[in-house]
Every structure is written in C-alpha cells, then in structure tokens.
Structure 1
Amino acid sequence: MSGLTADRAALRRGVFVTGTDTNVGKTLVAACLVRAWQAVYWKPLQTGLAEQAGDSETVMRLAGIGAERVVPPHTALQAPLSPYAAAALENAVIDLACLRLPSVNARPLVVEGAGGLLVPVNETAMMIDLIGQLGLPVVLVARGTLGTINHTLLSLEALRNRGLAVAGVVISGPVLTGNRETIVHHGDVRILAELPWAERLDAASVMRLARLIPPLADIIGADRVQ
C-alpha cells in the first residue's frame, strides 16, 4: 500500500486533534468535527477533572450528541496538569501499550489529545508518541494571532520528523493579516477552516461553525495528505 493510500485509509477511520498550545480551542474544534462528520468522539487521556467537567461532556453538549457517540476516556485524572504529572499525583502510570483505537462501526472517530505534541504522557513518552501509535492523520489547531507562525511551523515540523500524516490546520479565533498565507506557504499545509470566536458557545453556535468544516470525503479526496 502506498503512503498516500495508507493516509487516505487512515482518514476514513478518523483524525487526531492536537494543538499548538493549551487552551487553543482543541475541544471546540473536535466538537465541530464531530458535528460536521457525524463522528464519534474519544478523549483517551483526560486531566483536570477536579476543576471542571471532562471534555467528553463538553463535546456531547456542544455537538448535540448522546453518550452512544462518545467513547469513555481510557484514563481520567483529577489534576489540571500533563497526563504524566497528573497520573503521578494519583500513583498511577499511563501505559501506551494499553491504548488502542476503539471500534466505532461505520462512523469516523475524532480523537482529542491533551495539550500539545510534546506534553509528557509518562516518563518516556509524549503525546506525539500516542499519535504515532494510533496512526490517525492529525488536525492541528492553531491560533491566528501573533506568535502562531512559530508555534504552528514547529508543530508541523515535529509531526513530519516522525513521519506522521497531517490532514490540515484549523485556525481558531481571529486571524492576523498574513498569518494564514505564511503558514500555508512555509508549512506546506492545507488550512481546513478558520473558526471565528463565538460570543456564546452552545450547540447552536457549534452547528453554525461546523458548516465551515469541509466534508471528510473532500479531505480524503485531496491530492495528498501532507
């Protein structure tokens, strides 16, 4: 199987949503993808439950889906820290060997990571290692404001240095003039969508934002997954 064919086959299974930074909008983008593609959602490593509801509950509310479209987290931790640090506080160890893609029948799967690519999962592995293990193309969520060029290009470089497929970039929030063009040119990447900030985040606003997401079939049918 050629690399392109393999990438397209992986896209039919779904995508892994990661971000250039924390609080960049990964969960909102994941909810929009779930809504646009009628997908199933999975957050394998959930932290921060001591301070707020889990992202699974947030995606259910925003995407307007039921529990049958959500795979429970593999690991749920209390502290709002990296998975490695949060697990250590609970005398737990996250074993990547136990993490496998769940079966979701005919629906695509939207997997959301925790933090960015180099967030520690355990003593030796980072989030980027989990991405490689699961084998799904990446949707990279980036800000559009000052600093995004450096963060986005570094993230793309890290993914490609590992030989990981990138489905595209979603820009979250306002976009500074020239940032989109610079990311496309220097990152050699497709911008899948620009999602403006919504004054109120609810199922109605996510339904509107989801219309900006291209159909999964269009991404699969593109010239290449980069």
Structure 2
Amino acid sequence: MIKKKNYVLNQSLFITATNTNVGKTYASSVLLKKLSQEGFKVGYFKPIETGVVELPVDGSAMLELTKKLNPDFNVHIDFIVPYQFKLPAAPYVAKKDTIIDIEFLVKRKNELEELCDILIIEGAGGLMVPIMKDFFVIDLIKEFESKTILISPSKLGSINDTLLSQEALKNRNIDFEWYINLFEDKDSFDEVTLPFYKDYFDEINFLNDIL
C-alpha cells in the first residue's frame, strides 16, 4: 500500500466519538474534504442511522458531498445507509424486531472500499452504544478492522469521557487518533480543560485545524 501523510490507500477510517452530538458528521465532512485535497478518492459509509423520518439526514448530506469529491462514488443512499430506523435512539432500541446482520455490513464495507481509496465510516453515538444486546459500536470497529478517529468535545466534563473512550480503544487494541471538536464551552476551554490535556498528552489535535 502507498503511504500518503498519515493514511494509506485501501484504508477505512471509522469516525466515532465520546458520545452523541459531539460532531461525527462534521468530522466526516472535514476528513472527506481533506483527504480529497490530498489526492485520495474518498467514499462514505454509515452502517446505521436512527431518527430517520423520510431520508437519513446525515447520510444524505455526506453522500452528496462525497459524490462531489469523487464522482465515481455513484451509489444510492440506501446502499451507504443500509439500516435506517425512525426512533432516535441507540440502534438496539431503534431496530425493534429487525435483525442487524454484521456479516452483511462487513460485506457492504468491502464493496464500498472498491469504489474509493479511503472509506470514511461514521458510527452511531459513542463506543459503547449497543447494536445488539452483547454487541456494541466498538465491536463493529473490530469487525471492520478499521483505524479509528475519536472525536472529543470541548465542553466541561469532556476529560472523563475522552479518557474512558481512549481506554476502551486501547483495551481492544484498536489503532486510533483523537481530535477535539472545539465548539462547546469555547470561551472557557483554555482555562478549564486544556491545562490537563497539555500535561497529560504528548500531542493535542483540533478537528478545526485539519482544513
């Protein structure tokens, strides 16, 4: 495989976060644009989206962006968001009687990878959001064998959530990078949260600085 900056061709990047409403879709858009600028043919996959009334809002927006960046990624919304549920809840709850087929999702991921150099996969909620009773988002990452991008918020309380999420990834031997999405408590972040991050981490990356 050919290395180019931090990523390589034929790689999938799984976008997850410390919780819901942290910025996974925004992070997906940022990475799609950045990787496209670097010369990669990008693709997008959201295995499960909840809160879908007519069309999946996040998946539709990202598919439109992806097609602009990579015209060869000519697929239908139902192909990149195969599981769509109306209830805005964890997939395990929102799916009701639907059986989510993990082998099918792995197969779909492999099919989409054929259409691009790097596939951006957007998860649902955080790492321990249940898909089945004993199967969580973090387990789906392991099944996909994807490098992971963890998005952390800038709000008060994010230190705890960030460290817990990183510990979970390390315990599963999942390769990951992490980025702070600076959008909440921006005025107090430098005083309340950043001092610990500077002392604890060798490197701090902000999602807003990628583009």
TM-score range, shorter chain: 0.7 to 0.9
Distance 1:31-1:9 versus aligned 2 partners, 3 A rule: closer
Residue 114 of structure 2: SS of its match in structure 1? coil
Distance 1:54-1:129 versus aligned 2 partners, 3 A rule: same
Distance 1:159-1:17 versus aligned 2 partners, 3 A rule: same
CA contact (8 A) 1:77 1:87 kept: yes
Structure 1 counterpart of 2:90: 82
2:186 is the alignment partner of 1:183: no
Residue 152 of structure 2: SS of its match in structure 1? strand
Structure 1 counterpart of 2:105: 99
Distance 1:36 1:154 in 2: 28
Question: Which TM-score applies when normalising by structure 1?
Answer: 0.72
Structure 2 stretches lacking a partner, 5+ long: 37-41
**Correspondence for 1:47 among 40, 47, 50:** 50
Structure 1 stretches lacking a partner, 5+ long: 196-211, 215-226
CA deviations over 1:71-101 (Å, ceiling 9, x no partner): 511311111111111111xx20112232212
2:66 is the alignment partner of 1:58: no
Residue 153 of structure 2: SS of its match in structure 1? strand
Q: Percent identity?
A: 29
Residue 131 of structure 2: SS of its match in structure 1? coil
**C-alpha deviation, 1:105, in angstroms:** 4.1
CA deviations over 1:18-57 (Å, ceiling 9, x no partner): 0111111110111111111122111011111028743111
Moved >6 Å (runs of 4+): 8-11
**Correspondence for 1:33 among 31, 34, 47:** 31
Residue 88 of structure 2: SS of its match in structure 1? coil
Structure 2 counterpart of 1:192: 205
**Correspondence for 1:128 among 138, 149, 153:** 138
**Correspondence for 2:127 among 117, 120, 124:** 117
CA deviations over 1:163-211 (Å, ceiling 9, x no partner): 111123232412701534533653x47433242xxxxxxxxxxxxxxxx
Structure 2 counterpart of 1:15: 13
Distance 1:172 1:33 in 2: 16
Residue 36 of structure 1: SS of its match in structure 2? helix
Distance 1:80-1:36 versus aligned 2 partners, 3 A rule: same
**C-alpha deviation, 1:145, in angstroms:** 1.8
- Map 1:145-224 → 2, pairs under 5 A: 145-173=155-183, 174=186, 176-177=189-190, 179-180=193-194, 182-183=196-197, 185-186=199-200, 188=201, 190-195=203-208, 212-213=209-210
Question: Counterpart of 1:78 in structure 2: which amino acid?
Answer: K
Aligned-pair Cα RMSD in Å: 2.8
